[in-house]
Amino acid sequence: MAEATLPHGRPEVYEPSLFGTYSKKIGMWLFLLSDSLTFGALLYSYSYGRISIANWPTPFHSESIVNATIMTAFLLTSSLTMVLAVRAAVHGDAKAQRLWLLATMACGTGFVVLHGREWSHLIATGLTLPVFPAMPGHATTGEFADVAKNVPQFPATFFGLTGMHMLHVTLGVVYLGVVALRRNFIPILLLCWLGAWLGTPSYSPFHYGAHVLLIAAIICSVILWLKPKVYDAADVEVAGLYWHFVDLVWMFIFPLVYLMSARII
C-alpha cells in the first residue's frame, strides 16, 4: 500500500477554535461551570435547612459581621488588582503584572486568615462537627455547645459551604503564585505549610488543613519541573477567570450565611 505524503513547505491548517477563543479559556469556563453546580448544591442545602427548620441558629454577633465585611472588602479589592494584573499582562508589563498578582495573593491570604479566625471563634463557642478534634475546655461549655446536637444541619452546611469556598481561595492563591513566581514560589509555599502546621494547635482543624499547602507544593513542583514555561497574558487571563468566580461565589455566601443569620440583640 502506498503511503500518502504531504508536500514540504505547505502551511499547516488547524481546525478553528471553538467560539473563536483558545482552548485554555474554554477549559476554564467548563471547569467553572461544573464548579458552580457544586456551590449551587451547597447553597441550596443551606437555604433549605434555613427555611425548613424553625430554630435555625443565628450565631453571628456584630464582631462576626464586621469580620465578614472586612473579608468581603479583601475579596473585592483582589478583584480590582486581578483586573490590573490582566491589563498589565496584555500590555506586556511583566513587572506590573507580577506586582498586581502578588497584591491579589495578599488580599486572598488576608481573607483566608480572617476566615480561619472566624472558624476558630465559632468552634471555641461550641459550634463544631464530630470530625473536628475536641477543643479542651471550650466546646462543651460554649454558647453554641448544643447546636450540633439540636440542629446538626447548621454546622454541617455552614462548614461545608464556607470550607469549600476557603479551599478554593487557598488554591487560587497557589495558582496565582505559580503564575507570578513559577519555581520560586515552591519554597515559599513549603515555608507557609510549615508555619501553618507548627503554628496551629493540634486540636485545630487548620492543623490538618495546612497539609493542603504541602499537597499543592508537591503537585506544583511536579508540574513546574516537568514542563517549565513562562506564563503569558492568556494564562493570566485564565487565572483571572478563576479568581473572579471565587469572588462571585462569596457575594452569595456573605449575605445568605452571615447577614441573614446575624443575631440582633
**Nearest partner of 78 among 169, 4, 193, judged by Cα:** 169
> Is residue 47 situated within a structural domain?
no
User: Which of 12-16, 231-235, 252-256 is least confident?
Assistant: 12-16
Q: Which residues contact 195 (CB under 8 A, 6 or more apart)?
A: none
Return the pLDDT at 48. Answer: 92
Say if 131 falls within a structural domain.
yes
Q: Which set of grid coordinates corresponds to residue 7?
A: 508536500
Residue 262 has phi, psi (to 5 degrees) of: -75, 145
**CATH code for the domain of 118:** 1.20.120.80
- For residue 167, the enclosing domain spans 57-180+234-261
Q: What is the mean pLDDT of the chain?
A: 86
* Distance separating alpha carbons of residues 173 and 77, to the nearest angstrom: 14
**Does 8 fall in a domain?**
no
Q: Using 50, 70 and 90 to split pLDDT, how confident is the model at 82?
A: very high
How many structural domains are present in the chain? Answer: 1
